[in-house]
Amino acid sequence: MHVPPPVATFVAAALLAAGLMAGTPATGRAAGPKVAILVGPTAITDSTYVPFATNIAAAARATGATVDMRYCATPADALAATAGASIIVYLGHGSGYPNPYGAVLDPTVTNGWGLRNPAVAWAGRTAGCTDRVLKYYGESWVGANVKPAAGFAMIYSNACYAPGAGENEAASPASEQTALARVAYYSRTILRMGGTYYATDLWQGSAKLTQLLLTQPTTTYGDIFKAGNGFSSGALRRFVHPQLVGDQVWVQRTPDYAGTMGYWYAFAGNPAESVADPNAPPPPAPVNPVARYSGSDRFATAASISAASYPPGVPIAYVATGVDFPDALAAGSAAAATGAPLLLVGSSAVPAATAAELTRLAPGRIVLIGSAGAVSESVRLMLARYTSGGSVVRIGSADRYQTAAAVSSASFAPGVPVAYLATGTAFPDALAAAPVSGRHGGPVLLVDPAGLSAVTATELARLRPASIVILGGTGAVPDAVAAAAGRFTAGSVTRLAGADRFGTAIAISAATYASASTVFIANGMNYPDALAGGPAAARAGAPLLLVPGSTIPVSVQQEIKRLGATRAVVLGGTAVVTDSVLQQLQGLLAQ
Are residues 581 and 570 in contact, defined by beta-carbon separation less than 8 angstroms?
A: yes
Q: How confident is the model at residue 54 (pLDDT cuts 50, 70, 90)?
A: very high
Which pLDDT does position 31 carry in this prediction? 62
Last residue of a domain, one of 265, 288, 311: 288
Last residue of a domain, one of 288, 309, 326: 288
Which pLDDT does position 540 carry in this prediction? 93
- Shared domain for 187 and 119, answered yes or no, is yes
Q: What does pTM read for this prediction?
A: 0.64
Three-class SS of residue 494? strand
* DSSP per residue, 185-244: HHHHHHHHTT-EEEEE-STTHHHHHHHHHHH-TTS-HHHHHHHSTT--TTTEEEEE-SSS
Three-class SS of residue 116? strand
- Shared domain for 445 and 468, answered yes or no, is yes
Which pLDDT does position 590 carry in this prediction? 67
Q: How many domains does the chain have?
A: 2
- Shared domain for 265 and 305, answered yes or no, is no
Domain limits for position 182: 12-288
Distance of CA 180 to the CA centre of its chain: 8
- Shared domain for 312 and 216, answered yes or no, is no
Q: For residue 35, tell me if it sits in a domain.
A: yes
Q: Is the pLDDT of residue 288 over 80?
A: no
Q: For residue 64, tell me if it sits in a domain.
A: yes
Of 403, 426, 439, the C-alpha closest to 472 is 426
Q: For residue 127, tell me if it sits in a domain.
A: yes
Last residue of a domain, one of 257, 288, 319: 288
Q: Is the pLDDT of residue 591 over 70?
A: no
Q: Kindly report the backbone phi and psi dihedral angles of residue 395, in degrees, each rounded to the nearest multiple of 5, phi listed first.
A: -120, 115
Q: Is the pLDDT of residue 13 over 50?
A: no
Are residues 560 and 588 in contact, defined by beta-carbon separation less than 8 angstroms?
A: yes
Which pLDDT does position 226 carry in this prediction? 97
- Shared domain for 38 and 110, answered yes or no, is yes
Q: Kindly report the backbone phi and psi dihedral angles of residue 222, in degrees, each rounded to the nearest multiple of 5, phi listed first.
A: -65, -40
Q: For residue 409, tell me if it sits in a domain.
A: yes
For residue 586, what are the CA distances in angstroms to 349, 551, 567? 39, 13, 9
- For residues 111-129, give the mean pLDDT: 91
- Shared domain for 256 and 150, answered yes or no, is yes
In tens, the pLDDT along 352-390 reads 989 989 999 999 999 999 999 999 999 999 999 999 887
Integer Cα distance of 588 and 572 in angstroms: 20
In tens, the pLDDT along 398-454 reads 889 999 999 999 999 999 999 999 998 888 888 888 899 888 989 999 999 999 999
- Shared domain for 304 and 317, answered yes or no, is yes
- Shared domain for 282 and 295, answered yes or no, is no
In tens, the pLDDT along 184-221 reads 999 999 999 999 999 999 989 999 999 999 999 999 99
Which pLDDT does position 25 carry in this prediction? 55
Q: Is the pLDDT of residue 578 over 90?
A: no
Q: For residue 418, tell me if it sits in a domain.
A: yes
Which pLDDT does position 424 carry in this prediction? 87
- Shared domain for 336 and 283, answered yes or no, is no
Three-class SS of residue 152? coil
Q: For residue 348, tell me if it sits in a domain.
A: yes
